[in-house]
Amino acid sequence: MSRPKVVILGAGFGGLTAARSLDRIADVTLVDRHNFQTFLPLLYQVSTAGLAADHVAYPIRGALRKTKVKFRMGSPISVDHKNKSVKLDSSEVLDFDYLIVALGSATNDFGIKGVAENSLGMKTVNEALNIRSEIMRRFEDLCRFEDDTKFSIAVVGGGPTGVEMAGAIAELKRGPLTSDSKAAAKNIDVYLIEAGQRVLPALSPKLSARTKKDLEKLGVTVLTNAAVKEVKPRQIVFADGTSIPSEVTVWAAGVKGEPAMKKLSIPEESGRIAVEPTLQVTNYPYVFAIGDIAGAKGKDGRFLPMVAPVAMQQARFVAKQIERLSKSQSLQTFSYVDKGSMATIGRHKAVVEVKGIRIGGALAWYMWLWLHLFYLLGGRNKIGTMADWTWNYLTFDRGNRHIMDIS
């Protein structure tokens, strides 16, 4: 029996997991616009000087070294569904029996005025470095002014990314920036803005309240029920007409399916690819979609969360689906197993919720550290990350406070 040809678009958590899972039974070609995978859960630590940028990026070819998977760097520009082929921006055409779309997500501005022009996203290493440079550049301005000029940083979005970002900025201010210049650091204000009633809405109200309290202890001003109407160059305006100053606005309010999916000529649903319970794209049984870009729904009829565990579970599931198809077996329906949620707030401060078990404080913080280190690709990256974390913990310092202008 001949091995099916599978092309996978996107080498994030879902795409890379799918490629490795299919290596045994298929001829796989993995495509990504970068030659490295970014470990997105730790990107906020790059933007707040906690980690070096190269510790969260790993060469895709290195991750595939012990497989027969082929890698192509490029982006899809069209799909010929009649002949089952995808054309890349390099002009290469890849034939397939099955196509897996795992292109991930992009920052969602929800159509709010000024977000694209006046805020910073955090989906790439370059964006994280831009945030770090902006924060450090404004800090240097405060050191130069030597007066009571205020500098405000606002993080929009009270989910795990926003909470972790706001907490990390507050610790950057309290630790190394205060050591560098106490007078300048005291003039930095940090805001966390959430449109809903509470931060971390996916967690229990008790853990949500604890998170808010811990953030406020770090010096973060937490604003809930604060829907953003407009982001201006130095100000955020809310729907009720009030406003706050914000020289640097970090947008962590949500993501949407990667816009490149529009080039694939497949159906969409609310900004994601429309899929069946089998994860096959609607009306295209030879195409599967996984991860952030897939419009898969849970038992409650709502879209599954755009998180790495969903993408990885779907990747392994689709690999088994393709194996079933190659053996002329019936397909199964995907069911996501929620293994819990977690977020870190600061030193010895984190929250974890797993199947009704709620943990906070130092134990949750160590659990968070271990889990992220476990999933980080590459021995060098693990050692480098451990070294940075250990140095930061022992010295209350962060050595990656460089201003690097990224075009």
CA distance 356 to 197: 21
Same domain assignment for residues 262 and 310: yes
pLDDT at position 302: 93
CA distance 231 to 250: 11
pLDDT at position 404: 84
Q: Above pLDDT 90, what percent of the chain? A: 97
Please give the average per-residue pLDDT across 51-66, as a whole number: 96
Q: Is the pLDDT of residue 406 over 80?
A: no
CA distance 375 to 356: 24
In the three-class reduction of DSSP (H, G, I as helix; E, B as strand; rest coil), residue 314 is classed as: helix
Final residue of a structural domain among 303, 326, 349:
326
pLDDT at position 405: 76
Q: Is 164 a catalytic residue?
A: yes
CA 278 from chain centre, in angstroms, equals: 25
Same domain assignment for residues 235 and 381: yes
pLDDT at position 355: 86
Please give the average per-residue pLDDT across 153-182, as a whole number: 97
159 φ/ψ angles, rounded to the nearest 5 degrees: -80, -170
CA distance 128 to 356: 34
CA distance 168 to 49: 9
Number of domains, the chain: 2
> What are the residues whose beta carbons fall under 8 Å from the beta carbon of 261, sequence distance 6 or more?
101, 103, 268, 273, 293
> What's the pLDDT band for 2 if we cut at 50, 70, 90?
confident
Domain carrying residue 187:
115-253+340-395
Q: Is the pLDDT of residue 247 over 60?
A: yes
> What's the pLDDT band for 356 if we cut at 50, 70, 90?
confident
Q: Is the pLDDT of residue 45 over 70?
A: yes
Say if residues 98 and 325 touch (Cβ distance below 8 Å): yes
Residue 61 lies in a domain: no
> What's the pLDDT band for 1 if we cut at 50, 70, 90?
low
pTM above 0.85, yes or no: yes
Residue 236 lies in a domain: yes
- DSSP letter at 219? T
Same domain assignment for residues 249 and 262: no
Same domain assignment for residues 249 and 370: yes
**Continuous H helices in 175-249:** 178-180, 182-185, 205-217
Q: Above pLDDT 70, what percent of the chain? A: 99
Residue 57 lies in a domain: no
Residue 404 lies in a domain: no
Same domain assignment for residues 19 and 84: yes
pLDDT at position 104: 96
132: nearest Cα among 157, 153, 108: 153
Same domain assignment for residues 81 and 194: no
Same domain assignment for residues 246 and 268: no
350 sits in which H/E element: strand 349-354
Residue type, 16: L
Say if residues 325 and 285 touch (Cβ distance below 8 Å): no
Q: Which residues pair with residue 342 across a beta bridge? A: 352
Please give the average per-residue pLDDT across 252-277, as a whole number: 94
User: Average model confidence (pLDDT) for the chain?
Assistant: 96
CA distance 347 to 215: 11
Same domain assignment for residues 208 and 310: no
Final residue of a structural domain among 267, 297, 326:
326
277 sits in which H/E element: none
Q: Is the pLDDT of residue 309 over 80?
A: yes
Q: Is the pLDDT of residue 375 over 90?
A: yes
Length of the chain: 407
pLDDT at position 407: 57
Q: Which residues pair with residue 23 across a beta bridge? A: none
Q: For residue 118, what are its two tokens?
A: 């006046």
Final residue of a structural domain among 292, 326, 360:
326
- DSSP letter at 190? E
CA distance 236 to 124: 24
Same domain assignment for residues 243 and 381: yes
Residue 129 lies in a domain: yes
Same domain assignment for residues 135 and 229: yes
Q: Please identify which of the residues 92, 134, 140, 164 carries the catalytic annotation.
A: 164
Same domain assignment for residues 146 and 207: yes
State the burial class of residue 144 (Cβ atoms within 10 Å of its Cβ: 0-12, 13-18, 19+). exposed
Task: State the CATH number of the domain containing residue 374.
Answer: 3.50.50.100
Residue 130 lies in a domain: yes
Task: State the CATH number of the domain containing residue 285.
Answer: 3.50.50.60
Residue 202 lies in a domain: yes
Same domain assignment for residues 90 and 218: no
CA distance 406 to 178: 26
229-233: long-range contacts (C-beta < 8 A, 24 or more apart)? 229/112, 229/113, 230/112, 230/113, 230/114, 231/112, 231/113, 231/114, 231/115, 231/117, 231/118, 231/119, 231/156, 232/114, 232/118, 233/118
Say if residues 106 and 256 touch (Cβ distance below 8 Å): yes
Q: Is the pLDDT of residue 94 over 80?
A: yes
Residue 233 lies in a domain: yes
Taking only the tens place, the pLDDT of each residue in 282-294 is 999 999 999 999 9
pLDDT at position 44: 97
